[in-house]
Amino acid sequence: MLLLALTLLATDIVVSPKGPVRSVAEAVRLAAPGDRIVVRAGRYEEGPIVIDKRLELVGEGRPEIRGRGGYMLIHVTADSVALRGLVLSHVDPSQVEDRAVLKFDGVRGCVAEDLEIREGFYGIYVAGSRDCRLERNRVTGPGRAELYSGNAIHLWNSRDMVLRDNLVTGHRDGLYFEFVRATEITGNRSEGNVRYGLHFMFSDSCNYRMNVFVRNGAGIAVMYTRWLTVADNRFEHNQGPTAYGLLLKEISDSRLEDNTFDDNTVGLLFEGGGRNVVTGNAFAGNGWAIRLMANSIDNRFEGNTFTGNSFDVATNSESNYSVFAGNWWDRYQGYDLDRDGTGDVPFRPVRLFSLLVARNTPAVIMLRSFFVDLLDAAERVLPVLTPETLVDATPLMERPR
């Protein structure tokens, strides 16, 4: 009842280029908690704006609030603040400050939706907050070197967040999370960022679903985290000598389901961690579909498809501590006499030539040579160097639909 009464008492303050209130900062000073500030179409040159009371800041006709460069533009320190339908721009890079176009700082229940953020160092920065929602925002950076570019959406020490249907491009990292818990990341597109499309550390119990990560400098890196769900995402065209679709470093007790890894230098790289389930994923046209380091143990790969990859699986050891079962391999040449849908002959996905390339990278220029085909054929008949236990004992005869 109290909240309803306060809502009924709330008033609108209109900001317009020719009206009595011509500055967003002035409107914030005049507003009472619970008021709505309506910003009419136009361009507003503003100093730093601090929102320290519960307000709704709404744009009509896509007004632009433009900073003067040498500071953060909008700093939110109150709970339940909502910003909608605005263009926010112009924050200069800094080597000593994490300057953001929009920062939520130690708050609960805030909303940023349908914003366009451009010409910023950091785009949206969230620190020490919870129960906030970032939805349908477009965050575009300058595409400069890492030194002069922050992250598009940066979350630190926060939990119970929702990031949905955002587009992030041209920043150092598209999405960056550190010490983030129980957060939903759904339907976002991270493209053309200088370093990582997605980078997170120490961020347990998060769900990543139906996102697209494409043409980022080094791909996606996730580290030191447990209890993840990574499902129905697309990792595409992340290419370069140190690039990968998805790097999992010390990730454990997590699930990767129904993702697509397409045209990456390395599709999926496992380094450390374990007890992960990788199922229903499609690996197509990658240099290396999966690189599985020996320090990653007790992982299970099942129901995945491998099509047109230069190397399906590579490893750095003659030993293997994970299980491959029931995957479909386009290179499998076995048979199914008992017609149970799985091959009667196990498939060895590690090519001998992949071990040679791991030890001498320039040898990759011989990939399509007849000599390499002979090496691989000989290793299939009489395995000597490839891991004896890294086999799919029940390869699928038909590709899953």
The stretch 352-375 carries a mean pLDDT of: 57
pLDDT given for residue 149 in this prediction: 86
- pLDDT at 5 (0 to 100): 46
User: Strand, coil or helix: what is 248?
Assistant: strand
Region 259-270 average pLDDT:
97
Predicted local distance difference test score (pLDDT) of residue 6: 45
Q: Would you say 312 and 335 are in contact if contact means Cβ atoms under 8 Å apart?
A: no
Q: Which amino acid is at 198?
A: L
Identify the pLDDT of residue 395. 97
Mean pLDDT of the region 329-342 = 92
Confidence check: pLDDT of 387 > 70? no
- Phi, psi (deg, nearest 5) at residue 359: -90, -20
- To the question of pTM greater than 0.85 for the whole model, the response is yes
Question: What is the CB neighbour count within 10 angstroms for residue 135?
Answer: 18
Mean per-residue pLDDT over the chain, rounded: 90
What pLDDT is attached to residue 142?
A: 85
Angle in degrees, 0-180, between the axes of helices 352-359 and 370-381, rounded to the nearest 10: 120
Of all residues in the chain, the percent with pLDDT exceeding 90 is 76
Q: Answer for the pair 125, 148: CB distance below 8 angstroms, yes or no.
A: no
Q: Break the chain down into helix, strand, coil percent, rounded to 5.
A: 10, 45, 45
pLDDT in tens, 111-134: 999 999 999 999 999 999 999 999
Percent over 70 (pLDDT), the chain: 89
Buried b (16+ CB within 10 A) or exposed e, 6-27: eeeeeeebebbeeeebebbbbb
* pLDDT tens digits for range 41-55: 999 999 899 999 999
Of 75-89, 263-277, 307-321, 329-343, the one with minimum mean pLDDT is: 307-321
Q: What is the largest CA-CA distance in the chain?
A: 86
Task: Reply yes or no on whether the pLDDT at 333 is more than 70.
Answer: yes
Mean pLDDT of 300-311: 96
Give the pLDDT band of residue 29 (cuts 50, 70, 90). very high
DSSP class of 146: G
Count how many residues are written for the chain.
Answer: 401
Residue 94 reports pLDDT greater than 90: no
Determine the Cα–Cα distance for residues 352 and 131; give it in Å rounded to an integer: 51
Tens digit of pLDDT for each residue in 131-188? Answer: 999 999 999 998 777 777 899 999 999 999 999 999 999 999 999 999 999 999 999 9
Q: What span, in angstroms and rounded, lies between the C-alpha atoms of 356 and 265?
A: 17
Q: What pLDDT does residue 313 have?
A: 94
For residue 361, count CB atoms less than 10 angstroms from its CB and return exposed for 0-12, middle for 13-18, buried for 19 or more.
Answer: exposed
Least Cα distance to 137 among 151, 124, 119 occurs for: 124
| Residue located via tokens 């129905």 | 232
